Structure 1
């Protein structure tokens, strides 16, 4: 994945690198009012959030094997973002 598109409240905000760590950092730094939708450049859904918490992630294997092992330590303050 090269880049992903970030939308907040359905408005395009920016693109970021599409690696799992970059996505995790973007999710973790959101405040409680954010409602992110992250898609690939073909507009395929990667995930949605409510604040800095995951709401919906269609790829459960990626969620379990890659995203959560990076995101949880960041959210728990064990790793800086």
Structure 2
């Protein structure tokens, strides 16, 4: 039998994220003032950022300041 935490995680990953949190927002995707347009713009920026990180060489991450050096902002954690 699975724990409540495991059941909650499964529900989050298999239902809530794909069906609720990633659901299209209302509005015309061609209207820059609509929520849907802003959602699509954010998704595109996320994919570009993710690809930038994925395609960067390992040497970028060795110093501990890879993204700060690459993007010009951020700080130590």
Q: TM-score, normalised by structure 1?
A: 0.27
Structure scoring higher RCO (CA < 8 A, sep ≥ 6) equals 1
Q: Report the structure number with the largest CA radius of gyration.
A: 2
Name the one with the larger helix percent. 2
